[in-house]
Structure 1
């Protein structure tokens, strides 16, 4: 028992503090959403307006037309869909079948949203529907707390997207869950998707667990 406790204490000192482990990258060093200065966004600009305001810049106009492809500009202008809708979140790990989570239509997920296995490698994959207009600089911002203390913050630039009928999929860099007795337990998190104009398309709060094993499926 003493040996096992010592091993778990070693895990704690090596990364069992509840902090997610990921390969070092520039995006992981960016400020999280609670450190950014969010400003009110300007008036909404339609696809047609995007093209018209750049009509004198031949290279920029061609780049936007290439992004749009075969999008029907008039139909898009009349559509009532949100510009960006996050459809689902999938947790991918070699340890188990994919966990597919549907995004709530409104508000945040109720109760415990998912459980991760300690010390496991995993990736997040989002399914994103883009409608109506070009979305520039879409990025993912995530902050995690345990017992009221911030233990992880990350930001990932997803890129620029044009409207299309089929959803986009974006897979995040691989991460590793912490391990050890101090890493196990319930975490709270806040996830946002925001573009260059500071427009927020999703802002949800949820809870998840890190345990010795994956949750059993019914």
Structure 2
């Protein structure tokens, strides 16, 4: 399996991506359809659009590792410089600990449909994990959104301890990649 295939989102049989529409088209779409109006409200289309101070439609501000009773391990993803720092700064995860990832992001300019998080983790060049988490569809908003992922458990035992390389990206139903980066972590017996 090539790296490109390894890092591709899964496809749902029978699912067809809808026709791309502008923000104004969504706002005016079937104004008398009550269920559609509820969906548009859930996207925040009843509000004024958010800021457009950045050319990106999806601005990933940070992703964090949340562990009960500990401060979050926060990876700043907001700028190119921050991404470089993340790439060069591995962090430690205690073996066997329960954790969840959470992401904070802004949507600008237009509706983003089917935003997903993809992650491939390798150890010594061999894929050991692939994560695909649906974030959802969002409209522009001045306030950042936050999405918490499912609870997971870090592997444990002597064979699980060591250095891991990860590659992550955020992609949407239009196959637009909004951000992609490499990072690494170490699984250790304790937090040090």
TM score, norm. by length of structure 1: 0.70
Q: Report if aligned partners of 1:87, 1:127 keep a CA contact under 8 Å in 2.
A: yes
Task: Give the superposition deviation at 1:114.
Answer: 1.6
Name which of 46, 66, 72 aligns with 1:98.
72
Find out whether 1:33 has 2:7 as its counterpart: yes
Larger RCO, structures 1/2 (Cα 8 Å, 6+ apart): 1
Map 1:1-218; keep pairs closer than 5 Å. 33-34=7-8, 46-51=22-27, 54=29, 58=33, 62-63=37-38, 65-66=40-41, 67-72=43-48, 79-81=52-54, 82-103=56-77, 105-106=79-80, 107-108=83-84, 109-215=86-192
Q: CA RMSD in A?
A: 2.9
Higher helix share: 1
Q: Distance in 2 between matches of 1:92 and 1:99?
A: 7
Greater C-alpha radius of gyration: 1
Q: Report if aligned partners of 2:87, 2:181 keep a CA contact under 8 Å in 1.
A: no
Structure 1 stretches of 4+ moved >6 Å: none
Task: List alignment gaps of at least 5 residues for structure 1.
Answer: 1-30, 38-43
The C-alpha deviation readout for 1:42-94, integer Å capped at 9, x for no partner, is xx853124446x45884686356423344335x86xx3522111101121112
The C-alpha deviation readout for 1:115-145, integer Å capped at 9, x for no partner, is 1001111111110111111111111111100
- How many residues are treated as equivalent by the alignment? 178
Q: Report if aligned partners of 2:116, 2:172 keep a CA contact under 8 Å in 1.
A: yes
Report SS of the residue matched to 1:86: strand
Report SS of the residue matched to 1:97: coil
Task: List alignment gaps of at least 5 residues for structure 2.
Answer: 12-19
Q: Distance in 2 between matches of 1:95 and 1:60?
A: 41
Report SS of the residue matched to 1:158: strand
